[in-house]
C-alpha cells in the first residue's frame, strides 16, 4: 500500500496552492457579472466591519476562503441581531 507522509504545514501549503489554482476557474464568471459585483459592493458598504475582520484573517492565512468565511460569520450575526430586535423569526 502506498503511504504518503506530509507534515501539517506541508498539507496546508498544498491545499492553499490548489485553492489558488482553481479559484478563478470556479468563480471567474461571477466576477464578470455586473449584477454580482453590485450586490457585493452593497454588502461591503452595509457591513464594513465584516470585511475588516475578513481581511485580518486573510492577512494571517492568505486563503481567500478565510476572508469570505469571516465576512459571512459577521454578516450572519448582524442579520440575526437585527431580526431579533425587530421581532422577525426568519433570516
CA neighbor of 73 nearest in space, from 42, 52, 45, 87: 52
Residue 68 lies in a domain: yes
Q: Using an 8 Å Cβ cutoff, are 63 and 16 in contact? A: yes
Residue 80 lies in a domain: yes
Beta carbons within 8 Å of 47's beta carbon, 6+ residues apart: 71, 74, 75, 78
User: Which range of residues forms the domain containing residue 63?
Assistant: 48-91
Q: Which residue has the cell 501549503?
A: 13
CB 43 within 8 A of CB 75: yes
**Which pLDDT score, from 0 to 100, does residue 42 have?**
94
Would residue 10 count as lying in a domain?
no
Half-sphere exposure of 79 (CA within 13 A, CB side): 11
Q: How many domains is the chain built from? A: 1
User: What is the tens place of the pLDDT at every residue in 38-73?
Assistant: 998 999 899 999 999 999 998 998 777 888 899 999
Amino acid at each position: 500500500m502506498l503511504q504518503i507522509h506530509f507534515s501539517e504545514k506541508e498539507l496546508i501549503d498544498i491545499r492553499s496552492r490548489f485553492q489558488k489554482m482553481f479559484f478563478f476557474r470556479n468563480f471567474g464568471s461571477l466576477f464578470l457579472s455586473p449584477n454580482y459585483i453590485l450586490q457585493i459592493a452593497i454588502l461591503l458598504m452595509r457591513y464594513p466591519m465584516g470585511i475588516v475582520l475578513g481581511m485580518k484573517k486573510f492577512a494571517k492565512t492568505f486563503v481567500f476562503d478565510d476572508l469570505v468565511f469571516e465576512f459571512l460569520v459577521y454578516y450572519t450575526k448582524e442579520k440575526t441581531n437585527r431580526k431579533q430586535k425587530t421581532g422577525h423569526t426568519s433570516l
